[in-house]
Amino acid sequence: MDLIESKSKKSEQRHPWELARYEVMRSLLKKTFKGQMPKQIWDVGCGDTYFVERLAGELPQSELKAIDIAFTPELLAHYRAEMSQPNVEIFKAVDDIQGVQQVDLIYLMDVIEHIEDDLGFLQWLQSFPAINEKTYFFITVPAFQSLFCSHDRYLLHYRRYDNQSLRETVEKVGLEVHDIGYFFSSLLLPRQLQVWKENKQAQKGELEDTTGLVEWSAGNFKTQLIKNVLLADYRFGQFFKSMGLKLPGLSNYVICSPKAASL
């Protein structure tokens, strides 16, 4: 969860979108690495460490780094004290990490839309010697600029992406695309209705910026039900993708790696 949302969160119940996204990333991890799990994993822009802590529990032989520039000294101390997995280290900045020879996987989950110069950021990451052609990037972003709304403004997003713009972004900085697509198609219509409603409210001067994610307070049954619907949605989309039909979705992802240097 984004630290902006974490600060506003009143309930300990995780949003089903967040729970389902974890399973989506786990599925793509297994599909990409095919049983040979990465040894060194960085979660850049890790938020409240939910994802990295859960993943670390499933990959006890891997070393994981959780990094977020939004960490204050107090938050760093808090998350380090609360971390339940011994194979996770928490940092404020990538520059603070020492002694790593090879990074196998970098997660950038809903991160680059927060960065004004997304190209410069991706180029900067690749300047670290431990990040090379053997490093995979798993990047997720919100999809479709036409769906930009109060949720994005609240979270300080600069933009949303689509397959074309996301591919162009990573290829401009020398990353080779291995897989690209969307997930959570079922959330498109609700978001479109939200945008339509906000446009109407804006015309009347009644629009208030908010984000539904921090307001989630449903019980476990409803949360798990919606999570399972979203996972079925993802599997449905992956099935059609394997048939050559790419369904749109509210989230966009790309799996890529730096191109090997030419001799």
Which 8-state DSSP code applies to residue 28? H
Contact between residue 194 and residue 149 where contact means Cβ atoms under 8 Å apart = yes
Q: Where are the domains of the chain?
A: 3-258
Give the least confident one: 59-63, 101-105, 158-162, 210-214.
Answer: 210-214
Structure tokens at 120: 């410069």
Please give the biggest Cα pair distance in the chain: 61
Contacts 24+ apart (CB under 8 A), 200-203: none
Residue 145 near residue 113, CB atoms below 8 Å? no
* pLDDT 10s digits, 80-127: 999 999 999 999 999 999 999 999 999 999 999 999 999 999 999 999
The CATH number that domain 3-258 falls under is: 3.40.50.150
Whole-angstrom Cα distance, residue 241 to residue 258?
Answer: 24
The tokens describing 116, both together, are 């004004």
pLDDT value at residue 214: 52
User: The whole model's pTM is what?
Assistant: 0.91
Could you read off the pLDDT of 189-224 as tens digits, one per residue? 999 999 999 988 888 876 665 554 556 777 899 999
